[in-house]
Amino acid sequence: MLKNRISVITRLTALIGRLLPALLLNVGLGVLGYLSASFLLILAARALLGVIGAGLQASAPLLLAAIFLCALLRGVLRYFEQLAGHYMAFKLLAVLRDRVFSALRRLAPAKLEQKDRGEMISVITSDIELLEVFYAHTVGPVAIALLASVLMAVFIGAQHIVLGCVAVLAYLSVGVLIPVLNSRAGKAQAAAYRESFGAANSFLIESLYGLSETLRFGRGEDRERGMERITNEMDDSQARLKRLEGLTSAAADALVLFFSGAVLCAGLWLMRDGRMDFAQVLTATVAMTSSFGPVAALSSLSNNLPNTMAAGERVLDLLSEEPETPEVTVGAAVRFSGAACRNVGFAYDKEDILRNISLVVPEHGITGICGKSGSGKSTLLKLLMRFWDADSGQVRISGEDIRGINTECLRRIESYVTQETFLFEGTLLDNIRLAKPEATLAEVEQAAQDAGIHAFILSLPRGYETRLHELGDGISAGEKQRIGLARALLHGSPFLLLDEPTSNLDGLNEAIIIKSLRTAARTKSIILVSHRTSTMRAADSVYYMDAGRMS
Ligand SMILES: Nc1ncnc2c1ncn2[C@@H]1O[C@H](COP(=O)(O)OP(=O)(O)OP(=O)(O)O)[C@@H](O)[C@H]1O
C-alpha cells in the first residue's frame, strides 16, 4: 500500500518537469515566509526582554526595524509563494487535461466502450481538479515543512541541544505521525466517498438519458428514491470524513500546545540547573510555539491526501492504459482494393463471439451481411475498422494485414456508420460536414440527397442552418440515421461499413437509400449489415451469420 502510494507520488512529481523552477521558487519563498513569521515573534520577545532589561543589548531601533521587516516580508513572501505554487499547479492541470484527452483519443473506442461513463466523467473533471491539491498544497508544503523544520530545530538546538531534540520530536509528531495516522484512518472513508460520487454521476447520467423511459413506465418515484439513497450515502461518507478532519485538527492543536509547554518546562528545568539563561528559554519557547505553521499545514493536508492519492492513481492509470489496438504511425499507407477475413476468431472476454469467419469484400459493389441480433455482425465490422484485433485468423485490407496499416490511412479509407448516430450541438450543416470540414454546400446537399434527408432538411424553416437545439426532441431516429449516412457518403472514403443503416426507415426512404447505395457501389465497396433479408436484395453477394459462424 505504502509502496503504491510512493509510486503515485513519484509519478505525479515526475510530471512537474519544466515547472520545477516554479516549485523551487514556491519552496524557497515559503521557507523564508515561515522563518520571517517565527522571527517576528522571536525578535519581539527579545525586544521585550530589552525593555525589562533582561535581554541582549541590541539597539532598540535596529530591533524595531528588523521586526517591521519580518512583518512586511511575511506578507509579501506568502503572496509570492502562493502565486508560484498555484501557477505551477494550474499549468500542470492544463498539461494533465491535455494528456488525459490524448489518452481518451488513444483508447477510443474499444477501451472506452467498457468504461462506466459516470466514472470517466469523475476522472476527467473532479480527479484532475483534485490534483491541484497535490501540486499546490502537497509537494511544496512538504518541502517547505521539511526545510523550515530543520532550520528551526537547529535554531532551537542552538539555545540548548535538549530543546532541539524536543523540537525534532514535535515536528515529527505533528508533521508525520498525525498525517500518517489520519491518512490511514481516512482511506476507507475517502474511497467510499469517491465511489458514491462516481455512482451518483452514473445514476444522474443514466436518469437523464432514460428520462422518457422513466416517464413512460411511471418509474419517476423509483428514480427519485434511488437518487436520494445515493445522495445519502455520499452525505454519510462525507460526514465521516469531516468528523475525522475535526479529530485530526484537534489532535494537532493538542500536540502543538503540549510540545510548546514541553519546551518551556524543559527550558525552565535547564535554567534552574544553570545550563540556560532566561533569554534563551524564552527564545526557544517562542521559536517552538511560532514554528508549527509548516508542519500543521501538513496535518490538515493529510485529510485530503487519501482522496488526492486515489485521484492521482486513477488519472495515472488512465494515462498509462494501453489501447486495445495500438496506433500504427509508421505502417503501410494503402490504396483500397478490397478487404478479406480469413478464419477469424474473436472473443470480447471468454465467450467466443466470432468463430472461423471468412469473407471477401471486393473493391466495388455491395457485400451484405445478414443475421439475427447478437450473431456478431457489428463485432465483425469493428474488426474491419480495427477497433479490436482478431484473436485468430487474419483481417486484410488491400491484401495487407490490418495490423500493419497506418491508422490514419485506415481511418481515411474507411467510413463506419453505427446503429446510433450522435449529433453535436450546432447546425445540421456542421453536423454533416463533420466528415469533411472543407466540403462545399453543394457537396453536403448531394450527400444529404443520397442519404434521403435533403427534403426533410429543406422543410425546416432554417434549412441546413437549423441548430440541433431548435429541433429539441423533434428529430427522429430515422432522420438521425440518415444524417449519419450523409456524413459517411460525404467523407468520400472508398470503403463504407454500414451497420443497419435502414433499420429505422420506412419502405420509401429505404428504397431511396438503397438506390443511392447502388450508385455509390459503382465506385466504392460497401458492407451492408442488416437483420432484414429484404434489405439484402440490394447486395451483390450475401453472407449469413448465425451465432458467430458464417455461411
Ligand atoms: N464491448 C463488448 N463487450 C462484451 N460483449 C460485447 C461487446 N459488444 C458486443 N458484445 C456481445 O457480443 C455479441 C455480438 O454482438 P454484436 O453487436 O456484434 O451482434 P449483432 O449481430 O451486431 O447484433 P445486433 O443486430 O443486435 O446489433 C452479443 O452477445 C453482445 O452482447
Confidence check: pLDDT of 291 > 90: yes
Question: Mean pLDDT throughout 463-491?
Answer: 87
Any atom of ligand 1 within 6 Å of the Cβ of 353: yes
Helix (H, G, I), strand (E, B) or coil at 526: strand
With b meaning 16 or more CB within 10 Å and e meaning fewer, what string describes 476-492? Answer: eebbbbbbbbbbbbbbe
Cβ atoms of residues 323 and 389 within 8 Å? no
Residue holding cell 513572501? 77
Confidence check: pLDDT of 323 > 70: yes
Confidence check: pLDDT of 55 > 70: no
CB atoms within 10 A of CB 420: 10
In 362-470, the DSSP E strands lie at 365-371, 392-397, 400-401, 414-417
pLDDT confidence bin for 24, thresholds 50/70/90? very high
Contacts for 179 with CB less than 8 Å, ≥ 6 apart = 298, 299, 301, 302, 305
Question: Mean pLDDT throughout 178-184?
Answer: 84
Tell which atom from ligand 1 comes closest to the C-alpha of 113. 1
Q: Measuring CA to CA, which residue among 332, 262, 329, 255 is closest to residue 296?
A: 255
Tell which atom from ligand 1 comes closest to the C-alpha of 531. 25
Q: Mind spelling out the 3-state secondary structure of 146-214?
A: HHHHHHHHHHHHHHCHHHHHHHHHHHHHHHHHHHHHHHHHHHHHHHHHHHHHHHHHHHHHHHHHCHHHH
Please tell me the distance from the alpha carbon of residue 316 to that of residue 324, in angstroms, as a whole number.
18
The pLDDT value given to residue 383: 95
Any atom of ligand 1 within 6 Å of the Cβ of 113: yes
Query: Are 2-320 and 339-550 equal in CATH topology?
Result: no
Please tell me the distance from the alpha carbon of residue 307 to that of residue 26, in angstroms, as a whole number.
23
Tens of pLDDT, residue by residue over 489-542, are 999 899 999 999 888 888 888 888 898 899 999 999 999 999 888 889 889 999
Cβ atoms of residues 533 and 452 within 8 Å? no
Backbone angles phi, psi at 333, to 5 degrees: -100, 125
Residue of minimum CA distance from atom 8 in ligand 1:
379
Residue holding cell 540548548? 160
Question: Mean pLDDT throughout 16-29?
Answer: 91
Task: Identify the weakest region by mean pLDDT among 33-37, 54-58, 189-193.
Answer: 54-58
Question: Mean pLDDT throughout 85-104?
Answer: 88
Grid cell of 7 as nine digits: 509510486
Q: Measuring CA to CA, which residue among 205, 28, 54 is closest to residue 124?
A: 205
The pLDDT value given to residue 125: 84
Any atom of ligand 1 within 6 Å of the Cβ of 348: yes
Any atom of ligand 1 within 6 Å of the Cβ of 138: no
Grid cell of 446 as nine digits: 448531394
**Cα(406) to centroid(ligand 1), Å:** 27
Question: Mean pLDDT throughout 273-300?
Answer: 90
Grid cell of 124 as nine digits: 476527467
Backbone angles phi, psi at 388, to 5 degrees: -130, 160
Tens of pLDDT, residue by residue over 401-427, are 999 999 999 999 999 998 888 888 899
Confidence check: pLDDT of 259 > 80: yes
Question: Mean pLDDT throughout 299-313?
Answer: 77
What is the ipTM metric for this complex? 0.96
Task: Identify the weakest region by mean pLDDT among 241-245, 285-289, 355-359.
Answer: 241-245
Task: Identify the weakest region by mean pLDDT among 325-334, 395-404, 444-453.
Answer: 325-334
Any atom of ligand 1 within 6 Å of the Cβ of 544: no
What residue spans define the domains of the chain? 2-320, 339-550
Tell which atom from ligand 1 comes closest to the C-alpha of 379. 18
User: For strand 525-530 and strand 495-499, is the pairing parallel, antiparallel, or unpaired?
Assistant: parallel
Residue of minimum CA distance from atom 30 in ligand 1:
374
Cβ atoms of residues 209 and 223 within 8 Å? no
Confidence check: pLDDT of 344 > 90: yes
End-to-end CA distance of the chain: 53
The full length of the chain comes to 551
Tens of pLDDT, residue by residue over 40-53, are 999 998 888 877 76
Residues 264/265/271/276 CA torsion (nearest 10 deg): -40
The pLDDT value given to residue 197: 83
Helix (H, G, I), strand (E, B) or coil at 497: strand
Contacts for 188 with CB less than 8 Å, ≥ 6 apart = none
Topology of domain 2-320, CATH: ABC transporter transmembrane region fold (1.20.1560)
pLDDT confidence bin for 255, thresholds 50/70/90? very high
Topology of domain 339-550, CATH: Rossmann fold (3.40.50)
Please tell me the distance from the alpha carbon of residue 73 to that of residue 209, in angstroms, as a whole number.
56
Confidence check: pLDDT of 394 > 80: yes
Please tell me the distance from the alpha carbon of residue 490 to that of residue 81, in angstroms, as a whole number.
55
User: What average pLDDT is seen over the chain?
Assistant: 89
**Cα(373) to centroid(ligand 1), Å:** 8
Cβ atoms of residues 475 and 423 within 8 Å? yes
In a 10 Å sphere around its CB, with 0-12 CB exposed, 13-18 middle and 19+ buried, how is residue 226 labelled? middle
Task: Identify the weakest region by mean pLDDT among 44-48, 225-229, 449-453.
Answer: 44-48
Rg (CA), the chain: 34
Q: In the chain, what percentage of residues exceed pLDDT 90?
A: 50
The pLDDT value given to residue 541: 95
Output 377 or 477, whichever has higher pLDDT. 377
In the chain, the amino acid numbered 25 is: L
- pTM for this model (two decimals): 0.70
Tens of pLDDT, residue by residue over 120-138, are 787 888 888 888 888 888 8
Task: Identify the weakest region by mean pLDDT among 171-180, 340-349, 468-477.
Answer: 468-477
Please choose from 117, 355, 375, 381 the residue to mutate so as to test ligand 1's pocket, defined by most ligand atoms within 8 A of CB. 375
Any atom of ligand 1 within 6 Å of the Cβ of 194: no
Please choose from 112, 369, 373, 378 the residue to mutate so as to test ligand 1's pocket, defined by most ligand atoms within 8 A of CB. 378
Cβ atoms of residues 357 and 406 within 8 Å? no
Any atom of ligand 1 within 6 Å of the Cβ of 384: no
Residue holding cell 528588523? 66
Task: Identify the weakest region by mean pLDDT among 94-108, 163-177, 424-438, 518-532.
Answer: 94-108
The pLDDT value given to residue 302: 66
The pLDDT value given to residue 298: 83
